[in-house]
Amino acid sequence: MEEIWFLGLNNSTKYSRSLIGGFLEIFLYYSMENCYPVARRVNNRVGCTGTDWVIQGRVGEESLHAKVYGACCKENCDYVMKIELGSNTDSENELQIMAAEIGLAPKIVDSFTCNNKSFIVMEALNQTAFDLILRYKDPKVHLSIIDECFSLLKRIHSYGYAHGDSHLNNFMVKYSRENMVKSLEESDPVKSYKALAPKYFLIDFGYSGRIDDVLTAREDYIKIYIHLNRHYENTLLDEELSIYAPVLEKIMREIAKQ
């Protein structure tokens, strides 16, 4: 019989099964205080996602190898569910899980497979590094944002991996509500950004892999340069470009080091 995944809870979860009218009924009893889903295999067609995850609308940019949706467990909707569609899902999941374990990627709360697709459920984060670039129109803040992105890339490179798709929308940021309120109270963009105190994470490891002659650390920095340079050229006036030139120069210096 085809293996189907049913999601239960790994804390205080008990279940009993009885065959009634040819259908397998599953009764779940769980603690309302804990909501840490795990995948449990059952041999009946209860559906791939069971009853614990409720999938919301799609979030983020659509890609050829993955789709991302909002996800809820009970009343908690602070999750996203990524459904991998490509053939490289095993290696991508391994890298994402490794990155999450060392604090480079968002916390993973669940992972499972179903119908030859791979599912990863992660904590939902606030915004991307590019969102902050758009919010703070100040070159000093942009330099701080680039420094944080570089820090993540250097850490993953130190493990022998390149990200492979390191545009600024693949750097997620997380900050507290309290810091957001403090940030909004500041009129100066530099002080506002510091008050926000964002923590950065990498996402989307579909093009990641071991550093070699083809996949290089240098390419990770080039992708940041291309993304930001295109944004500046499309949005800034000629007289403004010189103000932001130090940001691009910083990225170019890092590229030259590689």
**DSSP for 212-235?**
-SSS-HHHHHHHHHHHHHHHHHHH
Q: Please count the other Cβ atoms lying within 10 Å of the Cβ belonging to residue 32.
A: 8
Rounded mean pLDDT, 113-130: 83
Range of lowest pLDDT (2-11, 46-55, 81-90, 170-179): 2-11
For residues 42 and 19, the answer to whether their CB atoms sit within 8 Å is no
Q: Are residues 151 and 221 in the same domain?
A: yes
Q: Are residues 186 and 108 in the same domain?
A: no
Q: Are residues 132 and 250 in the same domain?
A: yes
* Domain end call among 123, 139, 174: 123
Q: Are residues 72 and 133 in the same domain?
A: no
What is the DSSP-derived secondary structure letter of residue 188? Answer: S
Read off the pLDDT of residues 129-159 as tens digits, 9 standing for 90 and up: 999 999 999 999 999 999 999 999 999 999 9
For the domain that residue 88 is a member of, what is the CATH number? 3.30.200.20
Residue 169 has pLDDT above 90, yes or no: yes
* 186 contacts: CB under 8 Å, gap ≥ 6: 192, 195
Q: Are residues 170 and 89 in the same domain?
A: no
- Please give the residue range of the domain that contains residue 180: 127-257
* Domain end call among 123, 142, 158: 123
Q: Are residues 208 and 144 in the same domain?
A: yes
For the domain that residue 240 is a member of, what is the CATH number? 1.10.510
Task: Quote the pLDDT of residue 95.
Answer: 85
Q: Are residues 166 and 179 in the same domain?
A: yes
* Domain end call among 93, 123, 153: 123
